[in-house]
Amino acid sequence: MPGIYIHIPFCKKKCAYCGFYSVPFLKSGGDYAERFDGYAKLLEREAELQSVAVKDTAFDTVYFGGGTPSLLGRENFERVFSALHKNFKIDGGAEITVEGNPSDFVDIKRLLFLRDEGVNRVSVGIQTMNGGTLKKIGRAQTPADNLAALRRVAEIFDNFSADIMLGLPGENGDDLERTLATVSSFGVKHISAYALKIEENTPLCAAAVAGRVNLPDDDTASGYYGLVLKELKKRGIERYEVSNFAKRGYRSRHNLNYWKRGEYLGLGAAAHSFMNGERFENPPDLDAYAAAVNAESRAAENTERPFAVSAGLLAAGNRRKISADDALFEKIMLGLRLSDGISVSETEKEFGINFREKYAAALKKLDRCFSFKGENIAVKGKYFYVLNSVLTEFL
């Protein structure tokens, strides 16, 4: 089934490496409540507008990402949750995830409220247990916050995930191993381990260009990835996607839907969607997003205009119909990120191709990289770190 993604763009502090759209949670000259109340009302209205186009669609995952969703207060969470259930068909067994910073998840009242609202999975942004590194990358937390949050989350939620980062400035293998051991000791069911990527126009990029931070070379970074594989496997946390690891039965259903090229509807500023063979995104700016929601609201009240013929009402200038060739490449590109790979027979049926014939050259050239498991083709684990080089052969 499709999923719903809600983007909460507010952060207490912008991390030095972050390239996602986010804004300070305190508006200059304004206050916290005013800014969050206004945004929650926009989400509420967008949900109402978008529901007309997807009224017959059932959703089985909901994911609050950001930014920092854990900053959204109780009243506004209630407003958004109510809008979701009022306007969309949310499956009774849906996976509902909220991301958050450790400093927010230390608050047990916040966690209990989220659980009581129907959240059954949380994702904690740990990144590292090295306090000096946390400061270097601009994280608004300490190792003590990390420990307290993990302890609290483990008390309230059976299903919780932790984000960590590989190749952070000034860290070594011992730092990474300590982070993995600490997170695992609290019974975490899922870990996302992302290699640091230097995004343009970020403070970390400027620092790297100026030589103020030392980053690992490719061989060292590859060694860190191997360390993650080894340490998590010892703890029964198996890789199921390039950067994601889980205990049996705890894979992220929402993210699996992305990698299997399933449909999803995004709500909020900068939220991306894939519905009815089209990819589109909301304006990546709070003011532009508010203007788009308000414009659609006025249009909806004009009975002379045909309304909500498709999802993506706010994305007039950011819509792209996916061609058959692009859809096939997406299927392969996303599916081969998974340890299970993709089903050859299903792909052939969906796109009307002979897979082995169409990609004979790539399969022959990179034969050592692939394994066939029944009807599935998968990239062998030791080649996951160079996956992009493998995928280019299918272009």
**pLDDT tens, position by position, 229-271:** 999 999 999 999 999 999 999 999 999 999 999 999 999 999 9
Residue 28 to residue 11: CA distance in whole angstroms: 14
Q: Give me the pLDDT at residue 318, please.
A: 79
pLDDT digits (tens, 9 = 90+) for 266-307: 999 999 999 999 999 999 999 999 999 988 887 777 655 444
Among 22-31, 214-223, 326-335, 377-386, the least confident range: 22-31
- Residue 309's pLDDT band (cuts 50, 70, 90): very low
89 bridge partner residues: 58
**Strand ordering across the sheet containing 342-343:** 342-343, 376-379, 370-373
pLDDT tens-digit map of 67-119: 899 988 899 999 999 999 999 999 999 999 999 999 999 999 999 999 999 99
pLDDT classification of 205: cutoffs 50, 70, 90 = confident
Whether the CB-CB separation of 137 and 204 falls below 8 Å is answered with yes
Lowest-pLDDT range, 25-29, 141-145, 251-255?
Answer: 25-29
For the chain, the average pLDDT equals 90
Q: Quote the DSSP letter at residue 128.
A: -
Per-residue confidence band for 218, with pLDDT thresholds at 50, 70 and 90:
confident
What percent helix, strand, coil does the chain show, rounded to 5? 45, 20, 35
